[in-house]
Amino acid sequence: MAFAVVVAVGLSTVAPVQAQHVDYVASQIPPTYRGDIERFCKRGYSRHRWISVVPEMGIWMPIWKKFNTQYIPSFVQRCFSGGQIPS
Distance between CA atoms of residues 21 and 82, nearest Å: 9
Write the CB contacts of 77 (distance below 8 Å, at least 6 apart in sequence). Answer: 22, 58, 85
Distance between CA atoms of residues 87 and 81, nearest Å: 11
Q: Which one, of 32, 69, 21, lies nearest residue 49 by Cα?
A: 69
Say if residues 71 and 28 touch (Cβ distance below 8 Å).
yes
pTM for the whole structure: 0.65
Q: Per-residue confidence of the chain (87 residues) as pLDDT tens digits? A: 555 555 545 444 444 444 444 555 667 889 999 888 889 999 999 999 999 999 989 999 999 999 999 999 999 988 886 655 444
